[in-house]
Amino acid sequence: MKHANVVLLVLATGCDQAEDSGLHADTDGHTMDMDTGSDLDITGCSFDELRTAALETGTVVLAGLTLAEATSMDVIVGDPGAYEGNLVQVQGMVATVCSGNGCNADLLDHDGNLIKLQTDEGAEDALDLRDYTSVAQFGIAEGLGTNISDPVTIALQGAVFLATDCAL
């Protein structure tokens, strides 16, 4: 499984308590329920349709979105240095949300890439992602690349989340 952690907000440290869906992606874009071993398929979820719906009716976080399109997580994972200091947008299904203070969430794409969205949990007015999203919602988020190592980190400037019945 390829991992890229995208920190969406003003940079932060990690959260030790996550509401984990128990789902982890394989290379075919399916998710594996680690507790039961059942194979859960997200390949039927059209990210193009979910993106359109999210942009029309989704919950806007911070400044919303400014870029016209998302960069594939494969591209970011393949060359994370290209995004250091640059604005980038990503999208995927929310696979986990920090249950402690909402400091981070993970997005999962069809190719099995996982991107971590993280807030500035140490700040007095830190964003609590639990107020805006939950597991199995679709998310689009953007921010500046700030860390090119594993995990890749993006400081959040805006996001949109959409509740969906697309199975995760």
Structural domain that includes position 72: 3-162
Give the tens place of pLDDT for each residue, 75-85: 987 888 888 88
For residue 153, give the CATH number of its domain: 2.40.50.200
Average pLDDT over all residues of the chain? 73
CA distances from 30 to 93, 99, 123 (A): 12, 24, 36
Q: Which of 54, 65, 55 is nearest to 162 (CA)?
A: 54
**Predicted confidence (pLDDT) at residue 103 exceeds the cutoff of 90:** no
Rounded-to-integer distance, Cα 58 and Cα 26, Å: 28
Q: Map residue 138 onto helix, strand or coil.
A: strand
Give this prediction's pTM.
0.75
- 116 or 19: which leads in pLDDT: 116
Residue 167 lies in a domain: no
pLDDT band at 9 (very low <50, low <70, confident <90, very high): very low
Residue 154 lies in a domain: yes
Residue 168 lies in a domain: no
Residue 156 lies in a domain: yes
Residue 14 lies in a domain: yes
State percent of the chain over pLDDT 70.
Answer: 69
How many domains is the chain built from?
1
Residue 20 lies in a domain: yes
Residue 131 lies in a domain: yes
Give the tens place of pLDDT for each residue, 138-153: 999 998 877 666 666 7
